[in-house]
């Protein structure tokens, strides 16, 4: 487990995939021998929250603890948004360009490579829709509930919104975008006939495995941390201000 006193550099040596995580917190490399706590202080980050995120990334069985009064919802939403941007602007385009390279370099039967390309294109669109829904509807609602809870003041608009919608509606419709990646990996592992460049195939697979792990972790943060905290705040606000 990673602790606040541990050097951040040692944490990265323990699990290099943490590079993605620290980047989304806005932390730049070159932190020398500073501890996790020191780096968090420098970047104005809640170190408790940082530790929970990092540990649940390192160990999927880790159950993050959170307190309704201290959980930094705004920081969590910021982190989730940075992760979305990273998927759409870095990870997905990288995989896309590797797949395009494979289509272009394929001198054998192109049919299956084209199927793979189309499948990924469909996947990208699905992921974009998923992210758009969260950023345009869910996160603004999360922030409004957080603000209302903090100031113990609920606007008429929010009362109307809460009558129509609840964070549990989001939880029940929140689909598993990572599941389809499993099928995508299988197309390459099981069904793609020999291609000209097997190393390119391996590269694509490694990127897909990393993205799948990352998406899984991302969904856990949404489902296990943000949803329960917001649900608790919502229940409180409903009881006091709506009395349904
Ligand atoms: Fe998300
Ligand atoms: Fe999501």
Output the six-digit token pair for 109. 């039967």
Average pLDDT over residues 190-196: 76
Determine the Cα–Cα distance for residues 157 and 163; give it in Å rounded to an integer.
10
Q: How far is the CA of 64 from the centre of ligand 1 (A)?
A: 18
Q: How far is the CA of 9 from the centre of ligand 1 (A)?
A: 27
Task: Determine the pLDDT at residue 187.
Answer: 86
pLDDT band of 107, cuts 50, 70, 90: confident
Burial category of 51 from C-beta neighbours within 10 Å (exposed 0-12, middle 13-18, buried 19 and up): buried
- Judged by its nearest atom, the ligand closest to the C-alpha of residue 175 is 2
Average pLDDT over residues 21-38: 95
pLDDT tens digits along 34-43: 999 999 999 9
Q: Which residues contact 118 (CB under 8 A, 6 or more apart)?
A: none
pLDDT tens digits along 69-104: 888 999 999 999 999 999 999 999 999 999 999 888
pLDDT band of 119, cuts 50, 70, 90: very high
Burial category of 109 from C-beta neighbours within 10 Å (exposed 0-12, middle 13-18, buried 19 and up): exposed
Task: Determine the pLDDT at residue 244.
Answer: 52
Q: How far is the CA of 85 from the centre of ligand 2 (A)?
A: 13
Which residues have C-beta under 5 Å from ligand 2, the single-atom ion?
Answer: 222
What's the pTM value of the predicted model, to 2 decimals?
A: 0.90
Per-domain boundaries in the chain: 8-58, 73-242
Q: How far is the CA of 215 from the centre of ligand 1 (A)?
A: 8
pLDDT tens digits along 4-13: 999 999 999 9
CB 202 within 8 A of CB 164: no
């Amino acid at each position: 487990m990673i602790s606040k006193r541990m050097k951040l550099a040692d944490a990265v040596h323990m699990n290099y995939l943490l590079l993605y995580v620290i980047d989304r917190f806005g932390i730049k490399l070159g932190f020398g021998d500073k501890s996790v706590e020191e780096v968090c202080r420098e970047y104005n980050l809640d170190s408790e929250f940082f530790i929970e995120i990092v540990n649940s990334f390192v160990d999927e069985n880790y159950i993050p603890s959170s307190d309704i009064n201290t959980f930094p919802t705004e920081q969590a939403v910021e982190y989730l948004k940075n992760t979305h941007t990273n998927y759409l602007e870095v990870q997905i385009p990288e995989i896309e360009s590797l797949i395009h390279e494979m289509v272009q370099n394929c001198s054998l039967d192109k049919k299956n490579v084209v199927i793979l390309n189309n499948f990924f294109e469909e996947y990208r669109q699905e992921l974009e829709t998923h992210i758009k829904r969260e950023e345009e509807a869910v996160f603004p609602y999360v922030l409004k509930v957080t603000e209302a809870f903090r100031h113990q003041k609920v606007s008429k608009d929010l009362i109307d919104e809460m009558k129509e919608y609840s964070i549990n509606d989001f939880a029940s419709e929140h689909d598993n975008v990572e599941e389809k990646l499993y099928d995508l990996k299988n197309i390459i592992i099981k069904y793609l006939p020999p291609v000209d460049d097997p190393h390119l195939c391996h590269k694509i697979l490694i990127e897909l495995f990393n993205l799948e792990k990352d998406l899984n972790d991302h969904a856990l943060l949404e489902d296990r941390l943000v949803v329960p905290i917001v649900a608790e705040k919502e229940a409180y606000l409903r009881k006091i201000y709506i009395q349904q």
